[in-house]
Amino acid sequence: MTLEIRAPFAGWSCALAEIPDEVFARAMLGDGAAIDPTGHELRAPCDGEIISIAAARHAIALRATGGAELLAHVGIDTVALDGEGFTVHVRKGDRVRAGDLLSSFDLDRVARRARSLVTPLIVTNGERFRIVRARIDRRLAAGDTWFELEEISAAAATGAPATQRHFSATLTEAVVVTHAHGIHARPAALIARLAKTSPHEIEIRARGRGADARSAVALMSLGVRGGDEVVIVGFEPGAAPVIAELARLIRTLEPGTAEAPGEIVASPRRTTTPGRAQGVIASRGFAVGPAQRFGVEEFRVSEAGDGTAVERAALQRALEAVRARLQERARGAMVEVRELMAAHVELLDDAQLREPAAAGIEAGKSAAFAWRASIATSSNSLKATGDARLIERTSDLADLERQVLRELLGESAPRFQARRGAILVANDLTPSQLIDLDVSALGGIGLAAGGPTSHVAILAATLGVPMLVSLGPEVEALRDGVDLILDAEAGELVTAATREELAAARARLSRVREQQARDTAAARESCHLASGERIEVFANLAGSRADTRSAVEQGAEGCGLLRTEFLFLERTTPPDEAEQRRSYQQVADELGERPLVIRTLDIGGDKPIAYLPLPPEENPALGLRGIRTSLWRPELLDVQLRAMLAIRPAVRILLPMITDVTEIDRVAGRLDALCGELGVPRPQLGAMIETPAAALLSDQIAARVDFLSIGTNDLAQYGLAMDRGHAELAARIDGLHPAVLRLIAAATAGAAQHHCPVAVCGGLASDPEAVPLLIGLGVTELSVVPAIIPRLKALVRALTLGQCQALARQALELRHAAEVRELVRRAAAP
């Protein structure tokens, strides 16, 4: 018999050998073919039954009529996304027909984080079926015939799901899986490949179920996660050598990798091509320049102390000095640095670090020895979890270890002068080391270790420094001055580039810089659509001079949202009027005559404050939030309004979480009274549209205020009835869902009745795919993250109002967010 296999989505068909991953390219999971997708929906390639869905939602297996087992694996290294951006539309055991929707994914989000979007379709029981008449190296539409499967033998597949044995196991060995992502495609392929070398049957048992060790699909279907214990089972004495090898293999799958010693490294995969190292993208970008090595200072500490009292006092002085330095670093810094410094202060005061150090001092150890030992214990505990994100937090502990040891030993931080355009190479960096560097001089950063969600990676992305991590130990051996090409778009560091490659890379870098320079220069001008209509592009800010100055340099025409929560968090008493006034005024001073919109305190729900104990609530998101909290404690609101009224030039005041006009009237009454008391004119007053109620009553609200500002993050949460903090639902909350777009349309229509301008200050304003739709729905102001302003203004200037309105009308009639995004992408395609 033959079975027709159809393309699961549109794209370019290619052979497995072209996949940038050895496990798939070498057919270790089985024979098959691949597609580089242009669509975002994975559809069934044939009729069959769903037999496995990966925990990370990136891979689905089905058993076709006749017994062929097929694995569709969307992208390469997508297991590391932990399901982010993926939505599965079927369940294990479901019967599907060819063309049925199996899963959908955010094409852009997955493309930004995955090593490749090339998607293999693997025949995992190739001993029974072979591929014939494959259509390779051509463009296919979804549903086109891709290849056929021809049955070789009716013999039972070795990859079939394991059945209950009616005889006892002869050999067993228990192993804990340390790989952060458990047994997914690559570890399963390695285990199955090794198990097939034995003529004896071997099972892997976990979570109360068993699977044939020779079947990668069966192994993946167990759902084994990092930290789980598996039992390797053999039924004949001759299986003992392979069982021992399997146990060794599983133990050597280090957290965050899928490495078989001396053979394959899969997460990240490090190429064996001389002169090239592959890593994980931590901060996107492209750089060409000489290597500059960054060494880490070593501290020699004495184990024996000089007495309990002396060492205890020394540790306390060191901790206080480091705390003071962290707090000083936070002053006037960008919000990400402030938040990081606050987190490090919390760690510094953590009892799990202090108490073991104190116990070590009591046992006669020196403060330095005891502090280092305490840090090591906590770091090892994080590593033992197998959770990649927790493991990345060990760099924060290493940072604090070094800072405290410097204080204890009386040493100063080493001075490091970054050379202009250099690519810094090191084993790893701590957050404070990166903050101390003159990143404006650096071309990029390449680290042997580290992870993409570490604090140093987040800082690098914020600072706009291209960075690759997990490049492997060979990076540390690079000599100073050797020319490097750091491609943090493709995840590759070229360490032995030819003259032709260097010339091409420098030409590419020059083009990128020229485009960025053009966008940045043009961003300083006011923004108009190609059809002439004015669109204002403002910045969302968090209160520091540095943030504000950077936003102005990027072309911000004002501040559309100044968050004030940062003044109220992580303290025991609320800020007084003078402190608030100083903070708001420094932002106004940096903006000059540009508009400044200050949002009143948006607290409650997921942002509680210690000195404002809120009543117990089963669902804080539906309780005292935003303006409700301010009206519940009006003395806090009065102090904040007084501080805002003192700012020059006059600011605009924005009220969060409005539901209806009664809340606006109450605040307006207090504002009018304060203006009369202070002898100042009433400033412009605006309302945030964050609830469906506010969107539907926008005509009434617009009659009471001077402007509206749509907070799309909460509007999507409340409009779709999905909690943003819910791990299973967060990936499905998309502000481009037609239901959310209809709420935005209702808000702009109501505002138009009173000629009330409408801004968007939520996440959608910073999403290039959303911008044409927002403009088409009647939005005239976008308040966005500062870094994207030049790019966004360039985008707006290429649009016409008619195009945007036509696109918006189509989007309102679609069924879900994925269709809306596909519509926008098609419209933007050349």
**Residue pair 677/671 in contact by the 8 Å Cβ criterion:** no
**Residue pair 584/639 in contact by the 8 Å Cβ criterion:** no
**Beta strand pairing status for 492-494 and 536-541?**
unpaired
Identity at 767, one-letter amino acid code: D
Q: Which two tokens stand for residue 81?
A: 């996304």
Q: What one-character DSSP code corresponds to residue 418? A: P
Options 40, 179, 344, 455, the catalytic residue: 455
Identity at 321, one-letter amino acid code: A
d(CA 409, CA 547): 35
E strands, 275-316, in order: 276-278, 280-283, 286-293
d(CA 828, CA 804): 11
> In degrees, to the nearest 5, what angle opens at C-alpha 204 toward C-alphas 201 and 210?
95
**Residue pair 682/651 in contact by the 8 Å Cβ criterion:** no
Give the contacts of 328 (CB within 8 A, at least 6 positions apart). Answer: none
Instruction: With H, G, I as helix, E, B as strand and everything else as coil, classify residue 809.
Output: helix
Q: How far is CA 80 from CA 51, 387, 590, 830, in A?
A: 22, 11, 41, 32
| Residue 46 designated active-site | no
Q: Which two tokens stand for residue 712?
A: 């799309």
**Residue pair 717/621 in contact by the 8 Å Cβ criterion:** yes
**Residue pair 627/600 in contact by the 8 Å Cβ criterion:** yes
Going by C-alpha positions, the residue among 80, 76, 104 that lies closest to residue 16 is: 76
Q: Which two tokens stand for residue 162?
A: 């394991």
Q: What one-character DSSP code corresponds to residue 62? A: E
Question: What is the dihedral angle through the alpha carbons of 22, 25, 31, 34, rounded to the nearest 10 degrees?
Answer: 130
Options 46, 559, 756, 761, the catalytic residue: 761
E strands, 107-144, in order: 119-123, 129-132, 138-140
Q: Which residue has the tokens 């088409």?
A: 776
Q: Which helix (H) or strand (E) holds 175?
A: strand 171-176
**Beta strand pairing status for 781-784 and 758-760?**
parallel
Q: Which two tokens stand for residue 155?
A: 């013999």
Going by C-alpha positions, the residue among 220, 274, 255 that lies closest to residue 23 is: 220
Q: What string of DSSP letters covers 349-376?
A: T-HHHHHHHHHHHHTTB-HHHHHHHHHH
Residue 568 burial (CB count, 10 A): 21
**Which backbone phi and psi does 518 adopt, to 5 degrees?**
-65, -45
**Residue pair 3/149 in contact by the 8 Å Cβ criterion:** yes
d(CA 554, CA 548): 10
Q: How far is CA 581 from CA 68, 587, 600, 601, in A?
A: 70, 10, 13, 14
**Beta strand pairing status for 229-234 and 171-176?**
antiparallel
160: left (phi over 0), alpha (psi -120 to 50) or beta: beta
Q: Which two tokens stand for residue 649?
A: 């030039």
d(CA 691, CA 719): 7
| Residue 761 designated active-site | yes
Q: What one-character DSSP code corresponds to residue 681? A: P
Question: What is the dihedral angle through the alpha carbons of 358, 360, 361, 367, rounded to the nearest 10 degrees?
Answer: -90
Give catalytic residue positions: 455, 761
